[in-house]
Amino acid sequence: MEGLSHMTFIVKDLEKATVFFERIFDAEEVYSSGDDIFSLSREKFFLVGDLWIAIMEGDSLPSKTYNHTAFKIDDADYEVYLERIVALGLEIKAGRPRVDGEASSIYFYDFDNHLFELHTGTLGERLCKYKEK
Protein backbone atom coordinates (compact mmCIF):
# COMPACT_ATOMS: atom_id res chain seq x y z
CA MET A 1 0.00 0.00 0.00
CA GLU A 2 1.25 3.46 -0.87
CA GLY A 3 -1.05 5.55 1.29
CA LEU A 4 -4.28 7.48 0.96
CA SER A 5 -5.37 8.13 -2.63
CA HIS A 6 -8.37 10.42 -2.12
CA MET A 7 -11.47 11.06 -0.06
CA THR A 8 -14.96 11.42 -1.53
CA PHE A 9 -17.86 13.23 0.11
CA ILE A 10 -21.42 13.03 -1.18
CA VAL A 11 -23.03 16.48 -1.07
CA LYS A 12 -26.46 17.84 -1.93
CA ASP A 13 -25.19 21.10 -3.44
CA LEU A 14 -21.84 21.12 -5.27
CA GLU A 15 -21.54 24.92 -5.18
CA LYS A 16 -22.28 25.17 -1.45
CA ALA A 17 -19.77 22.38 -0.78
CA THR A 18 -17.22 24.20 -2.96
CA VAL A 19 -17.54 27.27 -0.73
CA PHE A 20 -17.11 25.03 2.33
CA PHE A 21 -13.88 23.39 1.11
CA GLU A 22 -12.39 26.58 -0.31
CA ARG A 23 -13.11 28.77 2.72
CA ILE A 24 -12.35 26.28 5.48
CA PHE A 25 -9.47 24.30 4.00
CA ASP A 26 -8.09 26.68 1.34
CA ALA A 27 -8.90 23.93 -1.16
CA GLU A 28 -7.94 24.49 -4.79
CA GLU A 29 -10.57 23.32 -7.28
CA VAL A 30 -8.76 21.37 -10.00
CA TYR A 31 -11.69 19.78 -11.84
CA SER A 32 -15.43 20.18 -12.34
CA SER A 33 -17.48 17.79 -14.45
CA GLY A 34 -20.05 20.51 -15.16
CA ASP A 35 -23.14 18.77 -16.49
CA ASP A 36 -21.16 15.73 -17.64
CA ILE A 37 -21.29 12.53 -15.63
CA PHE A 38 -18.27 10.25 -15.85
CA SER A 39 -18.83 8.47 -12.54
CA LEU A 40 -22.07 8.25 -10.53
CA SER A 41 -23.04 11.93 -10.63
CA ARG A 42 -21.68 15.41 -11.25
CA GLU A 43 -18.44 15.92 -9.33
CA LYS A 44 -15.59 18.24 -8.47
CA PHE A 45 -12.02 17.56 -7.39
CA PHE A 46 -9.94 19.66 -5.02
CA LEU A 47 -6.45 19.67 -3.61
CA VAL A 48 -5.96 20.42 0.06
CA GLY A 49 -2.19 20.49 0.23
CA ASP A 50 -1.36 17.26 -1.60
CA LEU A 51 -4.62 15.53 -0.61
CA TRP A 52 -7.15 14.87 -3.39
CA ILE A 53 -10.71 15.45 -2.23
CA ALA A 54 -13.68 14.63 -4.44
CA ILE A 55 -17.24 15.82 -3.93
CA MET A 56 -20.11 14.14 -5.75
CA GLU A 57 -23.70 15.26 -6.01
CA GLY A 58 -26.16 13.14 -4.04
CA ASP A 59 -28.24 12.97 -0.89
CA SER A 60 -26.84 14.39 2.35
CA LEU A 61 -26.13 11.97 5.18
CA PRO A 62 -29.40 11.30 7.00
CA SER A 63 -27.91 11.88 10.47
CA LYS A 64 -24.88 13.19 12.29
CA THR A 65 -22.41 10.78 13.89
CA TYR A 66 -18.95 10.92 15.45
CA ASN A 67 -17.40 9.34 12.32
CA HIS A 68 -15.11 12.09 11.15
CA THR A 69 -12.19 13.24 9.06
CA ALA A 70 -9.45 15.09 10.92
CA PHE A 71 -6.98 17.55 9.47
CA LYS A 72 -3.79 18.68 11.23
CA ILE A 73 -3.47 22.40 11.89
CA ASP A 74 -0.86 24.46 13.68
CA ASP A 75 -1.81 25.54 17.19
CA ALA A 76 -1.14 29.16 16.21
CA ASP A 77 -3.85 28.92 13.51
CA TYR A 78 -6.60 27.57 15.80
CA GLU A 79 -8.46 30.90 16.09
CA VAL A 80 -8.17 31.61 12.34
CA TYR A 81 -9.90 28.32 11.53
CA LEU A 82 -12.50 28.83 14.25
CA GLU A 83 -13.38 32.21 12.72
CA ARG A 84 -13.77 30.61 9.27
CA ILE A 85 -16.14 28.00 10.65
CA VAL A 86 -18.22 30.57 12.52
CA ALA A 87 -18.33 32.87 9.47
CA LEU A 88 -19.95 30.09 7.41
CA GLY A 89 -22.51 29.46 10.16
CA LEU A 90 -21.46 25.83 10.57
CA GLU A 91 -22.51 23.77 13.57
CA ILE A 92 -19.66 23.30 16.02
CA LYS A 93 -19.78 20.09 18.06
CA ALA A 94 -18.54 20.09 21.64
CA GLY A 95 -15.18 18.38 21.95
CA ARG A 96 -14.62 15.10 23.75
CA PRO A 97 -12.99 14.82 27.18
CA ARG A 98 -9.21 15.10 26.94
CA VAL A 99 -6.16 14.13 28.93
CA ASP A 100 -4.45 17.17 30.49
CA GLY A 101 -1.96 18.65 28.07
CA GLU A 102 -3.40 16.89 25.01
CA ALA A 103 -3.73 18.92 21.81
CA SER A 104 -6.79 20.99 20.89
CA SER A 105 -9.51 20.22 18.36
CA ILE A 106 -12.41 21.93 16.66
CA TYR A 107 -15.22 19.58 15.60
CA PHE A 108 -17.75 20.89 13.09
CA TYR A 109 -20.32 19.64 10.59
CA ASP A 110 -20.47 20.64 6.94
CA PHE A 111 -23.76 21.32 5.17
CA ASP A 112 -24.30 17.57 4.56
CA ASN A 113 -23.78 16.18 8.10
CA HIS A 114 -20.12 15.16 7.59
CA LEU A 115 -18.13 15.74 10.77
CA PHE A 116 -14.68 17.30 10.43
CA GLU A 117 -12.01 17.89 13.04
CA LEU A 118 -9.15 20.36 12.98
CA HIS A 119 -6.53 18.99 15.36
CA THR A 120 -3.36 20.64 16.63
CA GLY A 121 -1.55 17.50 17.79
CA THR A 122 0.12 14.40 16.43
CA LEU A 123 -0.25 10.69 17.13
CA GLY A 124 3.13 10.64 18.88
CA GLU A 125 2.16 13.49 21.19
CA ARG A 126 -1.13 11.80 22.07
CA LEU A 127 0.53 8.48 22.84
CA CYS A 128 3.03 10.22 25.12
CA LYS A 129 0.20 11.91 27.05
CA TYR A 130 -1.66 8.60 27.40
CA LYS A 131 1.49 6.91 28.75
CA GLU A 132 1.83 9.63 31.40
CA LYS A 133 -1.56 8.68 32.91
Q: Whole-model pTM?
A: 0.88
What proportion of the chain, given as a percentage, has pLDDT over 90? Answer: 74
Exposure b/e, 56-80, CB count within 10 A at least 16 = b: bbeeebeeeeeeeeeeebeeeebee
In angstroms, rounded to a whole number, what is the distance separating the alpha carbons of residues 62 and 13? 15
Q: Environment class of residue 103 by beta-carbon count within 10 Å: exposed (0-12), middle (13-18) or buried (19+)? A: middle
Domain of 96 in residue numbering reads as 60-133
Last residue of a domain, one of 59, 90, 108: 59
Long-range contacts for 27-35 (Cβ within 8 Å, ≥24 apart)?
27/53
Q: Average the pLDDT over 52-68 and give the result.
A: 96
Question: Is 79 among the residues known to form the active site?
Answer: no
The answer to whether residues 77 and 50 belong to one domain is no
pLDDT surpassing 90 at residue 108: yes
Active-site pick, 2, 22, 43, 91: 43
**The pLDDT of residue 132:** 74
The pLDDT-based confidence of 123 (bands split at 50, 70, 90) is: confident
Does 78 score more than 70 pLDDT?
yes
Q: Are residues 70 and 55 in the same domain?
A: no
